[in-house]
Chains A and B, each alone.
With several copies, the nearest count.
Chain A
């Protein structure tokens, strides 16, 4: 299980490749890996988005993400979990979040990956501020997850 906050852009596919290579003991054990990457769209609510600033609560964010992963590990038979989340200034098209779950069978990986994302969005203390052509605005809620 690895949880990381990043203040610079990251490549989710490179991270996944490196993570699997580092977890050599996992190869051959997992039959399923479900992942989700959330990225910054250049359009939201009809407005062009020029960028975003992601604020978080240092300490609490990591703690809450750890709790979310521990809860998932108690609910599903998971072999590994990876969460990477950006903080700071983000450009359109850049990844914001990567969540991955490895398990023996696909049901567990799919369910855990989606549940991790929903828990992250509803509980982890992050706040998004969008930069528009004519100013800034705080994002005031999430789109429906189910």
Chain B
């Protein structure tokens, strides 16, 4: 089963990629998804994580079909 991954802003530029579809097993966290989507790069400490459009911890479990977002600190307003 697959998970949709999205990268934003400076992170997207650093990775040279705005997203990916990765295959996961039955048990995976957002951090596992990151490793799979980036080919094993370490996740920078300030990166924020969302699952299905809601903020979550990088150790949150991910289910097949989920959309996982990774992005730098937000700077709107």
Residues of A within 8 A of B (CB): 38, 54-57, 59-60, 63-64, 85, 96-97, 106, 117, 120-129, 138-142
Given contacts A60-B50, A60-B69, contact A127 B77 (CB under 8 A): no
- Tell whether, in the assembled complex, residue B74 and residue A127 are in contact, meaning their CB atoms are under 8 Å apart: yes
Residues of B within 8 A of A (CB): 6, 8-10, 48, 50, 53-55, 69, 71-77
- Tell whether, in the assembled complex, residue A123 and residue B77 are in contact, meaning their CB atoms are under 8 Å apart: no
Q: Which residues of B contact A106 (CB under 8 A)?
A: 77
Closest to A97 in B: B77
Given contacts A60-B50, A60-B53, contact A55 B8 (CB under 8 A): yes
Given contacts A38-B77, A121-B76, A142-B77, contact A127 B53 (CB under 8 A): no
- Tell whether, in the assembled complex, residue A126 and residue B76 are in contact, meaning their CB atoms are under 8 Å apart: yes
Q: Which residues of A contact B72 (CB under 8 A)?
A: 127, 138, 140
- Tell whether, in the assembled complex, residue B54 and residue A125 are in contact, meaning their CB atoms are under 8 Å apart: no
